[in-house]
Amino acid sequence: MISHKAVGKLLLVMGFCSLVVTLAPTRAGAAGDTFKESAELGKRTAKTSEDVNRYVTQLDKTEQALSSVSHAQGMDLKKQYQSFSKELNSLEKAQINVTSGVDDMKSTGTDYFSSWDTSIAQISNSELKQASAERRVKVMKDHDDLAAALDDIETQLQPFMSNLHDLKAFLETDLSPANVDKAGELIHKSQADAQTLKAKIGGVQATLKQFLNEAPK
């Protein structure tokens, strides 16, 4: 007959084994989640980079079409205006893709750094814990700086696109050389703003590429 003391020890051992079984998947699961989130962040950042590149390409096409309108004469004026209108619609779609991609990248980044924080908490070795924490701070700062730069460009896109839509609406009411001349000042401003925008985006393109190269894989 088993004594109460032996039964107690047996229950204690069973309880400990149950705890180990319960904790082991949790630790492995957290590490797996972080790895998964890292891959997802890389995927989202790469997509954002591609969307930004496409936007710049479309920006060039729209700017060239607008320039053609300002120099067009006679029957060619209608053709160039229609080309500008088409390119502007494509530019708007490209902007929507960029904005959506940036939002997805930022959301994925939040999930990733939260998962990384959980993984750090599970590290027992103090040196490894500190090294991982320091690395997290660096990568998170790079990600936040990138997001801030993209947000800055996004705020400049709104007035820029508003001017282009104003030009489109103004010219379609009276597509004449005289009306194009009246719109000349805003046309020149939009072209200058496009150049400024491309210069800023160029810096962000380089930052995106650097982040993709340096971020954890």
CA 135 to chain centre: 21
Of residues 194 and 75, more confidently modeled: 194
Number of folded domains that form the chain = 1
Mean pLDDT of 163-192: 95
C-alpha closest to that of 180 among 62, 59, 77: 77
Whether residue 116 is contained in a domain is answered as yes
* pLDDT the model gives residue 25: 42
Q: What residue numbers bound the domain in which 122 lies?
A: 31-214
Examine residue 18 and state whether it is found in any structural domain, yes or no.
no
Q: How far apart are CA 119 and CA 100, in angstroms?
A: 29
The pLDDT tens digits for 118-166 are 999 999 999 999 999 999 999 999 999 999 999 999 888 989 999 999 9
Distance in angstroms (rounded) separating the CA atoms of residues 116 and 45: 18
Q: How confident is the model at residue 20 (pLDDT cuts 50, 70, 90)?
A: very low
Q: pTM to 2 decimals?
A: 0.79
Give the type of residue at 156.
Q
pLDDT single digits (tens) 42-60:
999 999 999 999 999 999 9
pLDDT at 32: 62
Neighbours of 94 (CB within 10 A): 21
Contact 118, 30 (CB under 8 A): yes
Which CATH number goes with the domain that contains 131?
1.20.58
Domain assignment of residue 5, yes or no: no
DSSP string, 1-37: ---HHHHHHHHHHHHHHHHHHHHHHHHHHHHHHHHHH
The answer as to whether 184 is a domain residue is yes
**Which amino acid, one-letter code, is at 75?**
M
Residue 63: CB atoms within 10 Å: 21
pLDDT at 12: 39
pLDDT of residue 4: 47
User: Residue 74 belongs to what H/E stretch?
Assistant: none
CA 156 – CA 199 distance, rounded (Å): 12
